[in-house]
Amino acid sequence: MKTISENRCFGGTQGVYSHSSTSCNCDMTFGLFLPEESAYGPVPVLWFLSGLTCTHENVMTKAGAQAWAAEHGIALVFPDTSPRGEDVPDDNAYDLGQGAGFYIDATQAPWAQHFKMWTYIAEELPGLLGDSFPLDMERQSICGHSMGGHGALTMAMALPGRFRSVSAFAPICNPTQSDWGRKQFTAYWGADESKWGPHDATLLMQGPGFDGPLLIDTGTDDQFGDLLGTEAFAAAMATKRQPGTLRLQKGYDHSYFFIATFMEDHVAFHADALYT
């Protein structure tokens, strides 16, 4: 593992690291904020999965999450959104290829060799983090934005017992019924929808749901609102009798200004679960 940078931040350290990924067959980069408490022992972990076109850096520099994580003594993990590099396939569209991994494992050419983001986030990166940093991997929670909200919700439900809480900002909730989902699933998995797997938060909510606290914020002025499937997910929550909170925030859009506004709420929400 290579240290790209380490900076003092709210009493702790904001680092950026890279490593050779066996699941993605390329070098991967991630950010990690360690609070001051990590100098004295392992601390709980909050994952943040970012959205389309983002890298590890967007939320790390724009959301102000470190201030609130430092207050609660929580580590923050900021993974990249896809494999990258000259040998990694890409597409001219912003919503496919590099920057658009959708947190799934591709099976179709040319994507299958590198685009294994589910395995990377669910298996490889947690193992690396647990071996390399003072993190309590028995206490994990997960959050995400947009495409990353899709990843956070699906991982929380499909990996029971892994995460103590889950939250999302403007998540893609019903990708099998949205242009943000059907396009990527077809490319990465092929046209046979029976092979798309349980990677739709609405369908997962109709099944196992989530055994823990859940929080979602979506802006009423989100410019991508028709692609998110918020209503379908809310209906699935109601039918399931899923404990949780879904808030429609008046006047907010899809931007990082929206995320920064409510980040304190989300970190405190996860802190309650991580320290219970």
Note whether 79 and 129 are within 8 A (CB): no
Instruction: Give the model confidence (pLDDT) of 211-233 as tens digits.
Output: 999 999 999 999 999 999 999 99
Q: Which residues are catalytic?
A: 146, 222, 254
Q: What share of the chain is helix, strand, coil (3-state, %, to 5)?
A: 35, 25, 40
Amino acid making up residue 103: Y
Q: What's the pLDDT score for residue 195?
A: 84
Q: What is the mean pLDDT of residues 154-166?
A: 98
- Contact residues for 21 (Cβ-Cβ < 8 A; gap 6+): 27, 28, 83, 120, 124
- According to the model, what pLDDT value does residue 199 have? 95
pLDDT at 101 over 90: yes
Report the relative pairing of strands 26-34 and 12-21 from DSSP bridges. antiparallel
pTM score: 0.97
Give residue 28's pLDDT: 98
Report the number of distinct structural domains present in the chain. 1
The pLDDT value given to residue 9: 98
Neighbours of 89 (CB within 10 A): 16
Residue 197 has pLDDT above 90, yes or no: no
237: containing domain: 2-274
> Do the beta carbons of residue 171 and residue 144 sit within 8 Å?
yes
Which CATH number covers residue 224? 3.40.50.1820
